[in-house]
Amino acid sequence: MLKRAFFSVILALLAIFFVDYFVGISPIRTSKNSEEYSKDTLLAKPILKYGIPVDSFYIEKGSLRYGQTIGNLLLDLNVDPEVVNSLTLVSADSFDPHKFKAGNHYEVFRTRDTLAAVRYLVYEDSPVDFVIFDISDTLAIYPFKKEVTTVRRVDESAITSSLWETMKQKNINPMLALELSDVFAWTVDFFGLYPEDKFKVIYDELYVDSLPVGLGTIHAAWFEHRGEKFYAFRYEQDSVASYWDEKGNSLRKSFLKAPLRFSRISSRFSGRRFHPVLRIYRPHSGVDYAAPAGTPVMAIGDGVVIDKGYNESAGNYIKIRHNSVYTTGYNHLSRFGKGIAEGVRVKQGDIIGYVGSTGYATGPHLDLRFWMNGKPVDPLKVKSPPVEPIRPENLEKFRQAITPIIYQLDSITPAGDSLRASR
């Protein structure tokens, strides 16, 4: 009996020990895991969009309809009319309501409850710029900019048709055609490109949310035109950036090669041309550029407007005196540029008018005239002197800066390939 009682006590003690160990400390372990979970939860960063915690809201997307205002939109979203009125007063001081455009996108942030109340309205002004309407306790309107990422690109190709079409065929942003035409405006005739012409360019492309939104700086390029290679290097002199060739000469000349972009020459300078309106042969002391009506016409150099008006032959015309030697004329304009009047000083590239068909014209085009010392000369044969080159004291630094870039520009790409590189 005593032995049986002894073993019963031992078994009871062992049972108490095991229960205390496994059951007693289990809640402690669970509590510890819960603390770690809570800590991780607190440390987790909220997902933000436009600086707003996305997880806290339902998001609706839409686009402005024609004639719709932000006030109308908010009322359609069941925002209290008094709140809309107050927000309209705020917007009068911080944002111009006329800047809202039909078709632009917006996002609505609603609360995650049965009320689904609107707390934020985000209007997309551009892929980079947004306007946030805060409809929480404190009404406010403030701008928001998305982060723009810059990617360095290197592209090259042979010209297949036009520069614009070549860019599109090679899956290159075609806006680069406009940028290149600006860089080489004084050295390359973009109205007479040849199929064997080539280009190579080092530039920045801008991205927002992994989507391309535009172009940045062109750092360097060459353009091979009619067998001659022209270089361009962006370099700062006296804190002003400009483009220079490999010898340090400025690519900016006294005159642009052409007064408008991406057109075609429909008639050249001639001593005897059959006039399409008068139906007679007579001299044509200018160059005609065929272009769509309304195409902007630029002053090809700095100067002063000495004459502006209308006559039966030239239609709407402008004359600009650039210096004591050169004067240019622009005929058949549909209308004049803003602020253009006699005595007004214009700069190279300023919009002075728009292509039209006024006067003796069978269709929209620009008739460009060029006078040297009062005598008409062929605009396509005028030798334009360069502006000031890199100064001697800066020339060695310039050469050191462009040496590795020249090596990169002249590196060989496999035949037929268009190089797409980034860094």
Domains, the chain, ranges and CATH? 48-145 (3.10.450.350), 149-253+412-422 (3.10.450.350), 264-381 (2.70.70.10)
| Nearest partner of 206 among 313, 128, 318, judged by Cα | 128
- Higher pLDDT pick, 223 / 10: 223
Other residues' Cβ atoms within 10 Å of the Cβ of residue 218: 19
Instruction: Note the pLDDT of residue 317.
Output: 96
CB 352 within 8 A of CB 335: no
Residue 327 pLDDT > 50: yes
pLDDT of residue 200: 96
Computed over every residue of the chain, the mean pLDDT equals 81
Position of tokens 């049972």?
A: 15
Question: How far is residue 125's CA from residue 148's CA, in Å, rounded to a whole number?
Answer: 15
**Residue of 91 and 127 predicted with greater confidence:** 127
pLDDT of 83 over the 80 cut: yes
- Range from 182-186, 291-295, 383-387, 416-420 carrying the lowest mean pLDDT: 416-420
Question: Sheet harboring 198-208: ordered strands across?
Answer: 240-244, 228-237, 211-225, 198-208, 149-158, 421-422
pLDDT for 296 equals: 94
- φ and ψ at residue 302, rounded to 5 degrees: -65, 145
What Cα–Cα distance (Å) separates residue 90 from each residue in 46, 120, 130, 181, 189? Answer: 29, 15, 17, 44, 52
- Cα dist from 208 to 108, 145, 324, whole Å: 21, 10, 50
CB within 8 Å of 172: residues ≥ 6 apart: 155, 157, 166, 418
Residue-level pLDDT at 189: 77
* Span 204-231, pLDDT tens digits: 999 998 888 889 999 999 999 888 999 9
Contact predicate 234/262, CB 8 Å: no
How confident is the model at residue 416, as a pLDDT? 40
Q: Which residue has the higher pLDDT, 2 or 285?
A: 285
pLDDT digits (tens, 9 = 90+) for 291-326: 899 999 999 998 999 999 999 888 999 999 988 788
